[in-house]
Amino acid sequence: MRNSRGYQTGLVVLVFFTWGTVFLDRMSLVYLVPFIAPDLHLSHGQVGLLVSALALTWAASSLIFGALSDRIGRRPVLIPAVFAFSVLSWLSGIARSFAQLFVIRSLMGVAEGPTWSTITATVEASSKPESRGRNVGIVVSAAALVGLAIAPVLTTQVASRYGWRSAFFIAGVPGVILGLLLWRYLREPKPIDSEMAHHKPSLKGYLSILRLRNIWLCCIASAGFMTWLYVMNAFAPLYITEVSKHSATLAGLVIGASGLGAFIWGWIFPWVSDRIGRKPTLLFVALLSAAVPLTYQISYLVAHPWLMATAGFIANGGQGIAALTIVLIPTESAPPQFAATAIGLSTLVGEVCGGTLAPTVAGGFAEHYGLVAPLWIASGGAILVFLAALFMHETAPARRGRLS
């Protein structure tokens, strides 16, 4: 059966590694910049453009191709996208100028955006209601484990020994392998309602999701989450090294501990939400995550970095926010045939506002008010998630059953 326990387990394992590989390829440029910039003579502004270009094309393609997958199926969109971003990782390794790298990374955003909406929509549709939050949480947490913990070590170690071009080549290999496994193993999710199989989504149907309050609130929460995520990860290392006067190695340890916490809590909190509800879980994890950027400023923790790392580990529930606000609540609020569209819409708003605009604004505040300002902005992003969650309707199947 398509939704049997064995298939669910195999699917979760397969797409866990697929989603981790997506983030490996996305984040590899960030970690390889110290090697790439001198070779290609890149300015700080050009580095920023490379990151922003990928974020923008990712955001747009997540919505466009997510909506397309609602019409033609997940497999025809997801599998070619996995092969495409793997090839583009290889092409990144042969770029000889900023212009070439800019085009390649922009196209990579186009290829990687659809993987997010189709992977999460597939897991959501293929999971039993009582295990939906757990399965989605496990898959989403792969971004923290692979992209934020393994990727910086893997890419920089390869680059230091064999050059940054080799690092891009190696980063592209897992995607090809996983693409073949998806082609062999992945089944097209069946519509929950048999009538849906005979009716393609219409433009009016797509627009109808804009009338749902939860969808708008999830877009706001997504913007807050990505503000928290990108601003904190961009400026926390600078604060630790330049303000607290610790080494870059120690900063990496502290941020790595926080990333490990994000991986663990990233699947535990969505799992808990299957039992107690999406809304109370999101309210708690948003407040908890708001404390992470502030831990870097507490003088006692600054004097005891191991305690700072422990505090970051305990409080970092960010990937849980992603699973709840970008996947679970949107898909449980929208009609099932528009699941990927709902995911793509919240992703689009989050990437544009939180992934592109917020770091720029935070950088401007840092210039005028010091590096403490971005940390408060990051904390404010988590508070925005909390405020949006206050007005959301509960969507967890178990809780809705008891409330109805």
Tokens of 263: 């991986």
Residues 53 and 183 in one domain: yes
Contacts of 342 (CB under 8 A, 6+ apart): 209, 215, 218, 330, 331, 333, 334
Q: What percent of the chain has pLDDT over 70?
A: 90
Would you state the pLDDT for residue 397? 84
**Residue 355 domain-assigned?**
yes
Q: Are residues 214 and 97 in the same domain?
A: no
> Quick one: 212 and 355 in the same domain?
yes
How many domains, the chain?
A: 2
User: 282 and 378 share a domain?
Assistant: yes
- Is residue 379 a part of any domain in this protein? yes
Q: Both 252 and 306 in a single domain?
A: yes
140 plus 266 within the same structural domain: no
Q: Are residues 151 and 249 in the same domain?
A: no
Q: Which of 132, 156, 191 is the last residue of a domain?
A: 191
Task: Let me know: does 251 contact 239? Beta carbons within 8 Å.
Answer: no
Whose CA is closest to 258, among 401, 403, 152, 129? 152
The answer to whether residue 44 sits within a structural domain is yes
Structural domain harbouring 37: 1-191
Q: Is residue 402 in some structural domain?
A: no
148 and 58 assigned to the same domain: yes
Provide the phi-psi class of 136: left if phi over 0, else alpha when psi is between -120 and 50, else beta.
alpha
Q: What's 17's domain CATH number? A: 1.20.1250.20
State the DSSP string of 14-55: HHHHHHHHHHHHHHHHHHHHHHHHHHHT--HHHHHHHHHHHH
Q: Which of 77-81, 239-243, 281-285 has the lowest mean pLDDT?
A: 239-243
In a domain, 401, yes or no: no
The pLDDT, as a whole number, for residue 1 is 46
Do 246 and 139 lie in a common domain? no
Between 35-44, 125-134, 239-248, 319-328, the lowest mean confidence (pLDDT) is in: 239-248
Domain final position from 191, 219, 249: 191
Of the candidates 404, 396, 399, the one whose C-alpha atom is nearest the C-alpha of residue 133 is 396
Rounded to an integer, the average pLDDT of 393-402 is 77
pLDDT on residue 34: 79
Q: How far is CA 343 from the centre of its chain?
A: 12
Q: Is the dihedral of CA 240, 242, 243, 246 positive or negative?
A: positive
3-state secondary structure of 275: helix
Domain boundary among 191, 223, 238: 191
**Does 384 or 235 have the greater pLDDT score?**
384
> Predicted confidence band at 21 (pLDDT cuts at 50, 70, 90)?
very high
Same domain, 251 and 341: yes
- Quickly state the pLDDT bin for 202 (edges 50, 70, 90): low
d(CA 260, CA 280): 23
Given a contact cutoff of 8 angstroms between Cβ atoms, the answer to whether 373 and 240 are in contact is no
Residues 103 and 252 in one domain: no
Q: Is the pLDDT of residue 75 over 90?
A: yes
Does 278 reside within a domain?
yes
Assigned domain for 334 exists: yes
Residue 140 shares a structural domain with residue 270: no
pLDDT recorded at residue 401:
56
- Residue 20 sits at the vertex; the CA angle it makes with 379 and 351, to the nearest 5 degrees, is 45
Average pLDDT of 293-304? 70
Domain presence at residue 94: yes
Per-residue pLDDT tens digits for 151-198: 877 888 888 889 899 999 999 999 999 999 999 999 888 755 444 444
